[in-house]
Amino acid sequence: MSEKNKNKSSFFFISKNSEPIFSKKNRQLLTDPLDDNNPITVQVLGICSALAITVQLKPAIVMTMSVIFVMASSNVIISLLRNLIPNRIRIIVFLVVISSLVALVDEVLRAYAYDVSKELSIFIGLIVTNCIVMGRLEAFALGNGVWKSFLDGIGNAFGYGFILILVAFFRELLGSGKLMGVQVIPDFIYEMGYEDNGLMLLSPMALITVGLIIWVQRSRNTKLIEEN
């Protein structure tokens, strides 16, 4: 049997016995980034946007949705092109793909969610430089199939967004006594002398909140504790 035929049959063999869509491995692609391999708390990527847009819940949620869209689509596109992309210019290709997806998100937000787009303006643009997106393309999508890359993109974007929303929840609650712009701390508590903590609205508190989340995460997830 010639070399070519051998390859063909083995390729055919794999596709015939392909793993189920939600095999254990594939599920892990989705769940790993939520905890064990979280982009923010474990890999410490994407911190910049976690500081900047977590003052209120709403922008954090919109940012999460935008990142989910950008990561899933860019992972799929790069995975589709992975056998065509010239190796020497792969980073440029990543950038072109990510930035055009980001431009798409920006245009759509400006048409359908104008207030949010004004609030997020430069941060939407900064998704381009979000290290998580670039990192997943280089480390995962370039070497894996479309479906796996899609799951990996969704998983990592959720892992990022989950922390973003968690931080925004505490900052909005403690900083302005509201959630999604609606007051949740009743008036009588203010009358008793409670005051919103203005410090929560400033960026350093986002870093401290992320730090606290990492602390909680490491205290219950023993896999993350480094051996000394």
Binding mask 180-209 toward another protein (x if CB under 8 A, else -) reads: ---------------------xx-------
- CA dist., res. 149 & res. 26, Å (int): 10
Smallest gap from residue 109 Cβ to another protein (A): 10
For the chain, strand residue ranges (E) read: 178-179, 182-183
**Cα angle vertex 44, ends 106, 47, to 5°?**
40
Among 4, 15, 21, 112, binds another protein (CB under 8 A): 112
Q: Do 224 and 36 meet the contact criterion of CB atoms below 8 Å apart?
A: yes
Stretch of residues binding another protein (CB under 8 A), selected from 20-28, 91-99, 128-136, 148-156: 91-99
Where in 25-84 is the site for another protein (CB under 8 A)? 84
Smallest gap from residue 144 Cβ to another protein (A): 19
Beta carbon nearer to another protein, 56 or 156 = 56
Choose among 144, 159, 151, 160: nearest CA to 22.
151
Q: For 220, left (φ over 0), alpha (ψ -120 to 50), or beta? A: alpha
Stretch of residues binding another protein (CB under 8 A), selected from 28-36, 111-119, 148-156, 162-170: 111-119
Beta carbon nearer to another protein, 110 or 218 = 110
- CA dist., res. 63 & res. 55, Å (int): 12
- CA dist., res. 137 & res. 82, Å (int): 10
Is residue 219 part of the contact set for another protein (CB under 8 A)? no
Among 34, 35, 110, 147, binds another protein (CB under 8 A): 110
Beta carbon nearer to another protein, 16 or 88 = 88
- CA dist., res. 185 & res. 177, Å (int): 5
Is residue 20 part of the contact set for another protein (CB under 8 A)? no
Is residue 178 part of the contact set for another protein (CB under 8 A)? no
Q: Do 37 and 160 meet the contact criterion of CB atoms below 8 Å apart?
A: no
Binding mask 121-140 toward another protein (x if CB under 8 A, else -) reads: -x------------------
Q: Do 125 and 102 meet the contact criterion of CB atoms below 8 Å apart?
A: yes
Q: Do 138 and 21 meet the contact criterion of CB atoms below 8 Å apart?
A: no
Smallest gap from residue 219 Cβ to another protein (A): 33
The size of the interface with another protein (CB under 8 A), counted in residues, is 23
Binding positions for another protein, rule: CB under 8 A: 84-89, 92-93, 96-97, 100, 103-104, 107-108, 110-112, 114-115, 122, 201-202
